[in-house]
Structure 1
Amino acid sequence: MLPSCVRFLTLLGAASSSLAGVTVQKPGLTVPPAYASHKTDVEKIFTTSYAAYKEFAFGHDELHPVTEGVGDDLGGWGASLVDAMGTMDLLEEAVNFTATIDFSTPPVPQLISVFETTIRWVGGLISAYELSDEKYPILITKAKEVTDKLAYAWVGNNTMPYHSVDFTTNTPQIGTNSIAGVGTLSLEWLALSHYTGNETYGKLTEGGVIAVAQLPAPLPGLAGQNVDPSTGQFTNLYVTWGAGSDSYFEYLIKYARYTNNANTIFVDSWKTAVDSSIRTLLRNSTVGGHMYLADYDAEQLIRHVGSHLACYYAGNWLLGGKLLQNQTIIDIALQLNDGCWNTYASTETGIGPETFAFISSDGNFTGGAAITDEQLAFYNEHGFYITGSDYIQRPEVLESNFYAWRVTGDTKYLDRAASAIASFNKFLPTTVAFACLNNVNDITQGFIDDMESFWHVGLFRRSVCVLNLCIYRFAEVLKYLYLTFDDPTHISLDTHVWNTECHPLRAPPALDSY
């Protein structure tokens, strides 16, 4: 069998807009006219957010360093992609500025995250190139330049990259990496292989994922949270679908779809992880019967915890369940989606918290503080209790809601998206922008003085081509909301695979089965 990255070059080269094989989206899906106005509502949020970014932050961003949220752009050019009115002026401005970027000279000395830069910069540049009908080859040139710098994260014979690289010295910071940091590069780097003809990019990242997947795992298919690239072994056996592990699992099934099973270890690893999760991690709350995926710690104890970030798993399971034509996975995914939505529906603001916990038939162990009387009272009413009350504009609940709409066509998911828009418009606006919240269940605790990059801005992030006329510069939250009310045929789940930052990448026609 050809290596996955080699076979992919042939597969994608033969891709067309026609559908073949298994489908993910419900055939013939349309948005009912009664919901049409909500797309405009999202555009209004976008224009307000964009105007604030232009006024207060444009031109002051930096290349993404090792920590999330410190800065996503270089020179602010990512913010100027295209305005929500559909003109091309801002796209031209962005492309012209992109051509001037010198990735060999970062604006300040810093360590650059391989993971964060890949999912934002590399994925965003390639997606923008595709969605602008390949009109701007400079986007691929710049994607190659930044990826060539990131490639210094691989040292010697290591199959796994280190977490971060000093762009000034071209040396990595020696230390551990998360499995998400190793496993969330493959889509973007393989796409770059396609457009440059250099197979090395795809081989590097694919090799890292395979190495993780082949390690003896704490539970079948469920890799530990951290690895040491110098030894190729786990350093942390904590199992979670949440932070640190999340997009490793997410990319297993997406890479299988993107490469059409050129190497079956990806789909097999995802199937094993899901089966193992159903057997070991799946829990229902004792109040309301809400379904969640628990964590599993190094002491082999189940932790009854959840997070906004982890709620992407419902959408990921819907995608995989459809590709595998496995109704059991689909049904469970829809219940997981309902459990995550319940964290929105139960709060004062109608917005879900950062972290939460629950009680199941096997207890309420979280590995943290004991449940308080106030939390218990909340649990007895809502079937979960809040452990981290902030909202930092995460997208994952609305991401899974988007997948649920596209897969089922049930308008209750449109209603939920509309409810989120109403909540955002009511509780997040400041005098100039949309801010984060300190407490989703107590609005009197006020704002966090931030507008997160995954809400609105970032380097060519979460761009979406609409009617082939423009690329909309929505970030994840606004993009998933916009796409929920947009024509499902514009960018279909059957023609594209989304990276973890919601950049759509063009995929070959699907197989008949996975």
Structure 2
Amino acid sequence: MSFRRAFVVAVALSASSLPTVLGADVQNAHLKLPRTARANQAKVVKIFTDAYQTYRRVAFGHDDLQPVSLTFNDGRNGWGATIVDSMSTMAIMGLDDLFNEALAFSSKIDFSQSKVDESVSVFETTIRYLGGLLSAYQLSGSKHQVLVDKAKQVGDKMAFAWVGNNSIPFGELNFTTNTPFIQTSNIAEAGTITLEWSMLSKLTGNDTYRQLAEKSVRQIASLTDPLPGLAAQGIDPSTGQFVGGYVTWGGGSDSYFEYLIKYPRLTLTDDPIFVSTWKAAVDSSIRSLARRSTVGNHLYLADFDDSGMIRNIGSHLECFHGGNWLLGGQLLNNQTIVDFALELVDACWNTYQSTATGIGPEVFAYISSNDLNGTFTGGDPPSVTDLAFYEQHGFYIFNGGSDYILRPEVLESNFYAWRVSGDVKYQQRAAQAIDSINTFLAVNGAFAGIDDVNSINSTKIDDTESFFFAEVLKYLYLTFDDPNHISLDHYVFNTEAHPFIAPPTPASFGGGTTTKPSPPGRPFHAVPGPLPAVSPNSFLPKQIVPLVHGTPL
């Protein structure tokens, strides 16, 4: 599509009416798994169980496994992030023994204080712990009330991030004193809480959590944007105002935009502010940020900096956008958005298929013919080596961003592309990713990130973030799974890939059909393995006993 035509389409999009509620089906009704799907899914289960057994052996109860040194770290406050973050994946894979062990551990977490560091991230704690607990509760048949009780405990503590009448929560809290660290935040931190906190309200009957989360997003959406619909990245919780004018779909902004379309689908709110703000952001991105590379004609979304300059940079984090646009385009019955989304997915996959390891870099850049003087990437100009790589692949690794830390975004969008289009190429891409994981990331019975995705002999990064279990392996598994199990028409995923059951949508809403959530039963070919002994095991309770709630709001 030429960008003159893209501009015309964008104008047409902005002029169209905006539905207040979403209703169209997301998934392709004629999906047919190839014969290779079951074997590939079994490979994903093996990666999960191998890595998790290594975690159990040397790091159980701690946040992250360090697979190179076979030690551990507690970067998420020592509450066992890998255990809680993995529970929804265990439930989906049908790994009942592992799930029950994780349930027993989670019932004993004391969220009243951080175990290793006074500073607690509201964003990370919300998406990993609160989201993980509530999703595990729903996926396991809503029968383990202790999971809601623990979510309430940590939610009550995080509520101290809102001070006085402030609409925006502070990003970091001292859990010992219940006081925030007074510092600026960003819209991703402030705007990526609506799914989890509204679900907490629904499951506890206390609407305060939803009100706090909505208040933050409404404040962001009420401000004057640097570009129409595209909020600035930085925000000051003390004033509720933007800090600077940097615009990006990448880190610091990403999941704010993601939740604008997911929240109304999950809640069926009839308030148009969420849908209209998301649609305005997409429209404005097509107008102002969409760029094609001079080599390969790949479609990217550029950044827009504080000085009003376009920056032709992209990131692995940003590559969620293809999947998010596919979801929103389907919900709104907007084929233009879907078509753009599929091109964004292809461009991000190109960053994978172009490297020596078949895995994409953390940060990349490109050259666009739309820019007057070549490329405005900022920082150092591309080297001769960079340009040679660009001439082959239509992007180059930017500013030292050659690492891969087990991020999920490219595989996430690939999953959405499969479920929306049914094109078998997305199955093939996921299979290639499995091969790359097994070939280049395996170490000591587990898996690690790498420092250089374009070197088959790269050194490894000694950390397995919990999102490897929560996101990477879940999206890969579901790509090869029965599409009626955890259907995109029945579930909404939080940004950590924890699925929440979505209510059915009336047929009159958005032209869709009435849907009914599928039961969270065992997948059709889970491959659970034996459960060896854990050492130490003194934390395991003899029975599951709900703990006393935290301080009520």
- Shared fold (TM-score greater than 0.5)? yes
Q: What's the counterpart of residue 461 of structure 1?
A: none
Q: What's the counterpart of residue 473 of structure 2?
A: 478
With 23-32 and 179-188 compared, the bigger mean Cα shift is at 23-32
Q: What's the counterpart of residue 439 of structure 2?
A: 426
Structure 1 residue 32, shift from structure 2 partner = 2.1
Q: What's the counterpart of residue 365 of structure 1?
A: 376
Q: C-alpha distance in 1, partners of 2:319/2:377?
A: 17
Q: Which amino acid is 1:433 matched to?
A: A
Local SS of the residue matching 1:238: coil
Q: C-alpha distance in 2, partners of 1:346/1:177?
A: 35
Structure 1 residue 75, shift from structure 2 partner = 4.7
Unaligned segments of structure 1, at least 5 residues: 1-19, 63-67, 457-474
Q: What's the counterpart of residue 334 of structure 1?
A: 342
Q: What's the counterpart of residue 495 of structure 2?
A: 500
Query: Contact conserved, 2:389 with 2:395, CA < 8 A, in 1?
Result: yes
1:295-444 matched pairs, under 5 angstroms: 295-361=303-369, 362=371, 363-387=374-398, 388-444=401-457
Q: C-alpha distance in 2, partners of 1:250/1:21?
A: 18
Q: What's the counterpart of residue 78 of structure 1?
A: 84
Structure 1 residue 80, shift from structure 2 partner = 7.6
Q: What's the counterpart of residue 135 of structure 2?
A: 127
Q: Which amino acid is 2:136 matched to?
A: A
Instruction: Deviation per CA, 1:440-482: give whole Å up to 9, x if none.
Output: 11122321222222112xxxxxxxxxxxxxxxxxx21111000
Q: C-alpha distance in 2, partners of 1:111/1:86?
A: 35
Q: Which amino acid is 2:487 matched to?
A: S
With 103-112 and 155-164 compared, the bigger mean Cα shift is at 103-112
Query: Contact conserved, 1:349 with 1:423, CA < 8 A, in 2?
Result: yes
Local SS of the residue matching 1:444: coil
Q: Which amino acid is 1:504 matched to?
A: P
Q: Which amino acid is 2:504 matched to?
A: P
Q: C-alpha distance in 1, partners of 2:124/2:380?
A: 31
Structure 1 residue 85, shift from structure 2 partner = 7.4
Local SS of the residue matching 1:455: helix
Q: C-alpha distance in 2, partners of 1:80/1:336?
A: 29
Q: C-alpha distance in 2, partners of 1:247/1:320?
A: 14
Q: C-alpha distance in 1, partners of 2:194/2:79?
A: 23
Local SS of the residue matching 1:234: strand
Q: Which amino acid is 1:36 matched to?
A: R
Q: C-alpha distance in 1, partners of 2:383/2:157?
A: 49
Query: Contact conserved, 1:343 with 1:384, CA < 8 A, in 2?
Result: yes
Structure 1 residue 218, shift from structure 2 partner = 0.1
Q: Which amino acid is 1:351 matched to?
A: I
What is the total number of aligned residue pairs between the two structures? 472
Q: C-alpha distance in 1, partners of 2:344/2:189?
A: 25
Q: C-alpha distance in 1, partners of 2:86/2:510?
A: 41
1:21-420 matched pairs, under 5 angstroms: 21-61=23-63, 70-71=75-76, 74-75=79-80, 77-78=83-84, 81=87, 82=90, 86-361=94-369, 362=371, 363-387=374-398, 388-420=401-433
Report the TM-score when normalising by structure 2.
0.83
Q: Which amino acid is 1:136 matched to?
A: H
Structure 1 residue 430, shift from structure 2 partner = 1.4
Structure 1 residue 385, shift from structure 2 partner = 0.4
Report the TM-score when normalising by structure 1.
0.89
Q: C-alpha distance in 2, partners of 1:290/1:270?
A: 23
Instruction: Deviation per CA, 1:295-320: give whole Å up to 9, x if none.
Output: 00010000000001100000000000
Query: Contact conserved, 1:69 with 1:452, CA < 8 A, in 2?
Result: no
RMSD over aligned CA atoms reads 1.8
Q: C-alpha distance in 1, partners of 2:245/2:457?
A: 40
Unaligned segments of structure 2, at least 5 residues: 1-21, 65-72, 512-553
Query: Contact conserved, 2:201 with 2:210, CA < 8 A, in 1?
Result: yes
Q: C-alpha distance in 2, partners of 1:139/1:73?
A: 18
Q: C-alpha distance in 2, partners of 1:74/1:409?
A: 39
Q: What's the counterpart of residue 13 of structure 1?
A: none
Q: Which amino acid is 1:481 matched to?
A: L
Q: Which amino acid is 1:432 matched to?
A: G
Instruction: Deviation per CA, 1:252-276: give whole Å up to 9, x if none.
Output: 0001211224211000000000000
With 257-266 and 409-418 compared, the bigger mean Cα shift is at 257-266
Q: Which amino acid is 1:134 matched to?
A: S
